[in-house]
Amino acid sequence: MPVIVKPINFNNDMSNTDKQSGQIRQIPVNIVKNKETGAKKMADIIAGVIRAKQEKGENAVLGLATGSSPIAIYQELIRLHKEEGLSFKNVITFNLDEYVPMSPDSENSYNKFMFKNLFDHVDINKSNVHIPDGTIKLTEADDYCTEYEEAIKASGGLDIQLLGIGRSGHIGFNEPGSTKDSLTRLVELHPVTIADAAKDFGIGGSVPQRAITMGIKTILNAKKIILAAWGKDKAPILKEMIEGPVTTEIPASYLQYHHDVRVFADAEAANDLP
Ligand code: F6R
């Protein structure tokens, strides 16, 4: 698919807009029949990165996401491992985020999620798994986040980053107001994100107000980015991310700066796109 360079729309409200004049691009969107079809395509892309690195005798460094969007992708990766011999022996992973405070053993932790939905079912070396530590003391968070960034760099950088998108416009937990230069850091969650997470925490459970997240710059430094959007709730934000101006108000719109990003959307999520 050709890459279309589109002009920054200076007629929009730019009060909170990133005015950096870097080249921005129309993000290519694959509209897929359903989530399962899209997940299969996305898993194939990730498997392709892993295999290409294997052939060169190198590690594949994956940036991974949690939430409902990647589950079908992880199921397909597990199937590729069990039925088609895809090995994760050369895979190093860095997850986007984790709630703070959060014990890694909690049912609501992203740590638990990742082992339950992927790592426990493939042959990854567990010492190659990196998930932000939700038990970190607030006073130690800055140093911890710097170390997380350094670990990504030391591994050779992210070969591919898998993303979902939040209704607040977040990627990772980069909520509105996040800057293009942001790195891994402690953040406050947006009320929409807290409301959306409440269903996972059940009646009486309270959603943490903070999280550690990779930054926008951390994400944009990935060599390749793929983003999954399933269901009608994602339609309005997907439209803003793809067609709107690049703005701190919609952090996902920063993806317009990336040279190799692709969105996979089902018909419902793509409903507001032309
Ligand atoms: C999760 C993450 C978030 C989610 C987003 C969409 O690690 O970083 O940005 O990708 O909130 O969540 P779902 O997929 O549950 O709609």
pLDDT at residue 6 is higher than 60 = no
Q: Is 219 in the pocket of ligand 1 (CB under 6 A)?
A: no
Q: Is 38 in the pocket of ligand 1 (CB under 6 A)?
A: no
The residue among 16 and 261 whose pLDDT is bigger is 261
Q: Is 63 in the pocket of ligand 1 (CB under 6 A)?
A: no
The 10s digit of each residue's pLDDT in 13-53 is 333 333 344 678 899 999 999 999 999 999 999 999 999 99
Q: What are the residue numbers of the active site?
A: 175
Atom of ligand 1 nearest to the CA of 174: 9
The 10s digit of each residue's pLDDT in 92-114 is 999 999 999 999 999 999 999 99
Atom of ligand 1 nearest to the CA of 66: 7
Q: Is 98 in the pocket of ligand 1 (CB under 6 A)?
A: no
Q: Is 192 in the pocket of ligand 1 (CB under 6 A)?
A: no
Q: Is 251 in the pocket of ligand 1 (CB under 6 A)?
A: no
Distance CA(54)–CA(58), nearest Å, equals 6
What is the chain's mean pLDDT, rounded? 92
- Say what the pLDDT of residue 16 is: 36
Residue type, 237: I
Atom of ligand 1 nearest to the CA of 213: 8
Number of continuous H segments (helices) and E segments (strands) in the chain:
7, 10
The 10s digit of each residue's pLDDT in 130-147 is 999 999 999 999 999 999
- Measure 221 CA to ligand 1 centroid, in angstroms: 19
- Which residue in 228, 247, 95 sits closest to 176, CA to CA? 247
- Dmax over Cα atoms in the chain, in whole Å? 52
DSSP result, 66-115: -SSTTHHHHHHHHHHHHHH----TTEEEEESEEEES--TTSTT-HHHHHH
- Say what the pLDDT of residue 22 is: 61
**Distance of alpha carbon 27 from its chain centroid, rounded?**
16
Q: In the chain, where does DSSP find H-type helix?
A: 35-55, 71-84, 110-117, 141-154, 191-201, 216-220, 235-243
The residue whose CA has the least distance to atom 8 of ligand 1 is 172
- Say what the pLDDT of residue 3 is: 37
The residue among 21 and 254 whose pLDDT is bigger is 254
Q: Is 171 in the pocket of ligand 1 (CB under 6 A)?
A: yes
Residue 40 CA neighbour count, 13 Å, CB half: 5
- Say what the pLDDT of residue 204 is: 67
pLDDT at residue 214 is higher than 50 = yes
- Say what the pLDDT of residue 202 is: 81
Dig out the tokens for 56 from the structure: 């060169």
- Measure 172 CA to ligand 1 centroid, in angstroms: 7
pLDDT at residue 219 is higher than 70 = yes
What does pTM read for this prediction? 0.92
pLDDT at residue 246 is higher than 50 = yes
The 10s digit of each residue's pLDDT in 53-63 is 999 999 999 99
- Say what the pLDDT of residue 205 is: 73
- Measure 167 CA to ligand 1 centroid, in angstroms: 9
Cβ-Cβ contacts under 8 Å for 147 (sequence gap 6 or more): none
- Say what the pLDDT of residue 2 is: 36
Atom of ligand 1 nearest to the CA of 164: 10
Question: Would you say 45 and 223 are in contact if contact means Cβ atoms under 8 Å apart?
Answer: no
pLDDT at residue 84 is higher than 90 = yes
Atom of ligand 1 nearest to the CA of 233: 16
Q: Is 67 in the pocket of ligand 1 (CB under 6 A)?
A: yes
- Measure 56 CA to ligand 1 centroid, in angstroms: 32
- Measure 53 CA to ligand 1 centroid, in angstroms: 27
